Amino acid sequence: MHEHTIAKVIIEEATKHGKVKGIVVEVGDLGHLPAHEMEEVLNTLTDWNITVTKKKATIKCEVCDYKGEPDIVEKGHDHTVFKCPKCKAMMPKILDGDKIILKEVEVE
DSSP 8-class letter at 64: T
- Could you tell me the pTM of the whole model? 0.88
pLDDT range class, residue 21, cuts 50, 70, 90: very high
Between these two residues, 75 and 95, which has the higher pLDDT value? 95
- Using CB atoms within 10 Å of the CB of residue 38, give its burial: 0 to 12 exposed, 13 to 18 middle, 19+ buried: buried
For residue range 28-79, what is the model confidence (pLDDT) as tens digits? Answer: 999 888 899 999 999 999 999 999 999 999 999 999 999 999 999 988 767 7
Q: Name the percent of the chain lying above pLDDT 90.
A: 84
15 contact partners, CB below 8 Å, separation of at least 6: none
The values of phi and psi at residue 25, to 5°, are -120, 135
pLDDT of residue 76: 72
Q: Report the distance separating Cα 108 and Cα 96, nearest Å.
A: 33
Domains defined for the chain, CATH in brackets: 2-107 (3.30.2320)
Nearest Cα residue to 80 out of 20, 27, 40: 27
